[in-house]
Amino acid sequence: MTPAPTYVLRQLTSGPGEGWNFVFGQALLGGGVGVWSLYRLGNPDESSGSFKQCLLRTLKIATHETGHIFSILHCIAYECNMCGSNSFEETDRYPLYLCPECVAKVCWMSGLEPVERYKKLAEFCKEDGLKEEQEFYEKSIKALSEK
């Protein structure tokens, strides 16, 4: 049983089950269930660069699958976190952030205001050393706050 309101409940495992094929993640569109594996995302203990790469891949896949939980389909209008990905090259190329259309969907469904959402995301990125992503969110805050 999950506490209300719960958007996402996560469970970590050490690897896939016997006979599983590889996918980055999968979610039941609008069904409240999504899974993704950390198993093949790289070795975070190898170096600081590897740690950052694993962190970004984890965040991208987790937020992408969470988007599906919120009923958001793959984005074909922009290069954003909701684009479909079938390789590490695609996952690494696509940004962590959402495009304007997907942000609007998340804000509408969650009741969050875009500027408040961006402030929280910028702070998260700052705490985790994700400088490029932090700068994107800070620029977004500035653009939405200008009159």
As annotated, the active-site residues are 65
Handedness of CA 103, 11, 61, 137 (dihedral sign): positive
Answer whether 51's CB lies under 8 Å from 45's CB. Answer: yes
d(CA 55, CA 77): 26
Q: How is residue 119 written in tokens? A: 């402030």
Strand pairing report for 25-28 and 33-36: antiparallel
Residue type, 22: F
- What SS3 class is residue 57? helix
3-state secondary structure of 25: strand
Look at the block and give the residue holding tokens 């919120």: 70
Strand partners, 25: 36
